[in-house]
Amino acid sequence: GAERRSMVMTEDEKKLTAYHESGHALCMLYAEGHEPLHKVTIIPRGRALGITMFLPERDKYSQSKLELKAMLTSLFGGRIAEELIFGSERVTTGAADDIRRATGLARRMVTEFGFSDKLGPLRYAENEEEVFLGHSVTQRKNVSDATAKVIDDEIRRVIDEGEQAARAILTAHMDELHALAHGLLEYETLSADEIRRLIRGERIVRETSTGPAAEEPRPGRRSSVPPSGRPSGIGPEPEPQPGG
């Protein structure tokens, strides 16, 4: 969406947003099977205070279980980052859409994609409804109460695994989380290459309108972040996907 530079954020809000988006970004970098990180910004766009985007390397017609688990991990990266840095009592509503998307994805993994060992490769539709004038006129229950309980438990398990994976990544890379958040507070928008430079403790190089490229040192420790494997100079690209 269009940038909303007229929107005024307090310093505390900017700091929290920077850590939230940094959490998403690091989980995208380190979660095995995730699509390559593309860009992170804390400039408000639409209803979002910040956006973390990934860019698929090619058109995809299906996704593996590993890729979906990586997506769940990155969705919880923002909320877990808030909790680790500011404490559980200061976690905000900023992750509401992340939670909505994660819950929907986990439910589909369990009830549609056959990614639950307990439920097996069966499709479970708890209710099938015909809607007339906004009201349900028929409702047929397709699963027993016992099966519905197993579905709920499996959705909870998948969500918990995503949260735990995000927590493990951010706890192991706490120095990088700080370095990336500080970089966002200074530059507001960072490309994937600039993110990797920051978390390796290298300098960000940007072209200036009045002279040669400027170099500025950034804090942070060195890290072995794997390259995205995406060649440069590719032709038309698919639309970057927001991470929340």
Determine phi and psi for 164, rounding to 5 degrees.
Answer: -65, -40
Q: Which of 204, 207, 217, 193 is closest to 29 using CA atoms?
A: 193
Please pick, among 3, 11, 13, 21, the residue that the annotation labels catalytic.
21
Determine the pLDDT at residue 11. Answer: 86
Alpha-carbon distance of 213 to 138, in angstroms, equals 66
Q: Residue 142: what pLDDT?
A: 72
- What pLDDT score was predicted for residue 9? 73
How far is the C-alpha of 197 from the C-alpha of 217, rounded, in Å?
10
Q: In terms of Cα–Cα distance, which of 67, 106, 65, 82 is closest to 24?
A: 82
Q: How many residues does the chain have?
A: 244
What's the pLDDT score for residue 231?
33
Q: What is the pLDDT of residue 73?
A: 97
- pTM higher than 0.85 for the full model? no
pLDDT of res. 163: 97
Place of tokens 């390559």: 36
Q: What is the pLDDT of residue 61?
A: 72
- In the chain (244 residues long), the average pLDDT of successive 10-residue segments reads 60 92 95 92 71 74 92 97 96 93 96 93 67 50 84 96 98 96 93 92 72 44 34 38 56
- At residue 55, the pLDDT reads 72
User: If DSSP codes are grouped into helix, strand and coil, which group holds residue 11?
Assistant: helix
Q: CB neighbours (10 Å) of residue 44?
A: 21
- Residues 6 or more apart whose CB falls under 8 angstroms from that of 28 comprise 34, 35, 36, 37, 52, 54, 74, 77, 243
188 is catalytic: no
